[in-house]
A and B are shown apart, each in its own frame.
Chain A
Amino acid sequence: ELCSVCPGDTSVLAGLYGPAEAKLSKELPDRAALEVLLRPKVGLPGVLERSREQLLRQTCEAAVLGVLHPRTAISLVLQVLSDAGSLLSCCLNAACMALLDAGLPLAALFCGVTCALQPDGAILLDPTARQEQEARAVLTFAIAGSDRKVLMATTKGSCSVEETQQCLAAAQRAAGTIFQFYRDSVRRRYSKC
């Protein structure tokens, strides 16, 4: 199942394969083995891509009900087509929509939201690359669908504790818009066929 998500000019193509037969070395006896591959737009995947793959993999593992498909492998391949800021949250959204499209059993939906803390203290959601560079801190959260809990958090730059809580609250509020987008996209896809 392929699916492309583009907020503004950042676009990521996600391909999900599975649950398929796993290699003997990689299979887990009680759950599905999830693998995420993130390919940058230019160059070979480096340490930054590996670190993001780990974030995405553990977020998807928390959402997917792997125990329903033991000894199988689920592969998620993400290709960055263009990067104009908020890349990690775009990857998270692409991953979730790919999981939805594939029909895998999920415990909860999740969405990615990026918040940029500007030097004057204002919170900006889904910043562009320029806004991310000028910001004091950039926080990315993966918010779970059912209860708006935090599934994944990663920060760049430093900020105070109150500012972090404010960004988290703003991200939780914004998550509602993204989940509505998921619903509309899925409705559109299935209304045609």
Chain B
Amino acid sequence: LFICSRTVEPLEYYRRFLKENCRPDGRELGEFRTTTVNIGKCLCSITTADGSALVKLGNTTVICGVKAELAAPAVDSANKGYIVPNVELPSLCAERFRSGPPGEEAQAASQFIADVIENSQMIVKEDLCIANGKLAWVLYCDIICLDYDGNLLDASVFALLAALKNVQLPLVTINEETGLSEVNLKQKNPLFIRKHPVATSFAIFDDTLLIVDPTAEEEDLATGTVTIVTDEEGRLCSVHKPGGSPLTGAKLQDCITRAITRHKEVKKLIDKVIKSITPK
């Protein structure tokens, strides 16, 4: 009788399950954890934000708040607004993160989100311009992880998408005589979201096995990770494989196929939630 302990030999423990094509929490290798999303002021609880969403992917909890402010556009791009994403991993979400300046993981995640917004063109910066050269919107998207149990990137992209769909911007006009901006808080319009990117992350085990939606424990044991971001047309917005075990082109293709399927599931969920909170 050979007893394999989860704390003493975690890798051997996991290998036992992977041999039977399942994982300790009962999921299959290609199965996601339960995804729930709360959007808006009533459910999500950020009352001061212009748009907010809370996403739970199993235990991983990520909240995104979007605040819109006015600013002058940059000199070299006078017809473009700004979108500034920021991912924070405060020390309350996991033991490994210390308080202080953002660590490498938070900064890399912020850069990843900025790349996803830019690559997918989900919001075109020209749409955020109010008056050419004078006034434009700045969208500060703050993504904060409240509980880190792996798969931060998927949850962050989902929270960002849900929060942006919830944003209502007031109408801003520039008074011809005074040259000052007038904000009409009574008339609000939603943002025009052109594309809906969805991220799917995989962990690579022992150089061969690919498992979807890794938990924090699985991420620590894995030898590499891959994140694929797709939009509704099946186009790839991002293939993010930061080092780790080498993969063949065929394995990468399997990941892409699974990511496209996941996109449909997530799109359905978001549409359902948006419909349920829209006043009739």
CA distance A50 to B111 in the complex (A): 9
Known: A154-B240, A160-B234, A161-B236. A54 touches B104 (CB 8 A): yes
CA distance A53 to B105 in the complex (A): 11
What A residues does B235 contact at CB under 8 A? 158-161
CA distance A26 to B241 in the complex (A): 24
What B residues does A152 contact at CB under 8 A? 241-243
CA distance A158 to B236 in the complex (A): 5
Residues of chain B from 98 to 121 with CB closer than 8 A to chain A in the complex: 104-105, 107-108, 110-112, 114-115, 118-121
Residues of chain A from 34 to 88 with CB closer than 8 A to chain B in the complex: 47-48, 50-51, 53-62
Contact between chains at A51 and B108 (CB < 8 Å):
yes
CA distance A153 to B242 in the complex (A): 7
B124 CB to closest chain A CB (Å) equals 13
B49 CB to closest chain A CB (Å) equals 22
Contact between chains at B243 and A60 (CB < 8 Å):
yes
Known: A58-B242, A62-B245, A154-B241. A51 touches B252 (CB 8 A): no
B249 CB to closest chain A CB (Å) equals 5
What B residues does A147 contact at CB under 8 A? 246, 248
Known: A47-B107, A50-B104. A164 touches B236 (CB 8 A): yes
Contact between chains at A151 and B107 (CB < 8 Å):
no
Q: Does B231 contact A (CB under 8 A)?
A: yes
Contact between chains at B111 and A153 (CB < 8 Å):
no
Secondary structure class of chain B's binding surface, majority of residues = mixed
CA distance A72 to B236 in the complex (A): 39
CA distance A108 to B256 in the complex (A): 26
Interface digits, B80-110 against A, CB 8 Å rule (1 contact, 0 not)? 0000000000000000000000001101101
Residues of chain A from 133 to 179 with CB closer than 8 A to chain B in the complex: 137, 139, 142, 144, 147, 149-161, 164-165, 168-169, 172
Known: A142-B243, A157-B119, A158-B237. A150 touches B249 (CB 8 A): yes
What A residues does B119 contact at CB under 8 A? 137, 155-158
Interface size in chain A (residues, C-beta < 8 A): 38
CA distance A150 to B244 in the complex (A): 10
Chain A residue at minimum C-beta to C-beta distance from B250: A165
Q: Does B59 contact A (CB under 8 A)?
A: no
Q: Does B150 contact A (CB under 8 A)?
A: no
- The one of A51, A58, A139 in contact with B243, judged by C-beta atoms closer than 8 angstroms, is A58
- The one of A58, A61, A142, A169 in contact with B249, judged by C-beta atoms closer than 8 angstroms, is A169
CA distance A55 to B256 in the complex (A): 20
Contact between chains at B238 and A155 (CB < 8 Å):
yes
In the A-B complex, the 8 residue pairs with the smallest Cβ-Cβ separation, listed nearest first, are A58-B243, A149-B246, A51-B111, A59-B243, A50-B107, A153-B241, A54-B108, A51-B108
**What are 29 A-B interface contacts by the 8 Å CB criterion?**
A47-B110, A50-B104, A54-B104, A55-B242, A55-B243, A57-B243, A58-B224, A58-B244, A60-B243, A62-B224, A62-B244, A139-B239, A150-B247, A150-B248, A150-B252, A151-B243, A153-B226, A155-B240, A156-B115, A156-B118, A158-B121, A158-B235, A158-B237, A161-B234, A161-B235, A161-B236, A161-B253, A164-B236, A168-B252
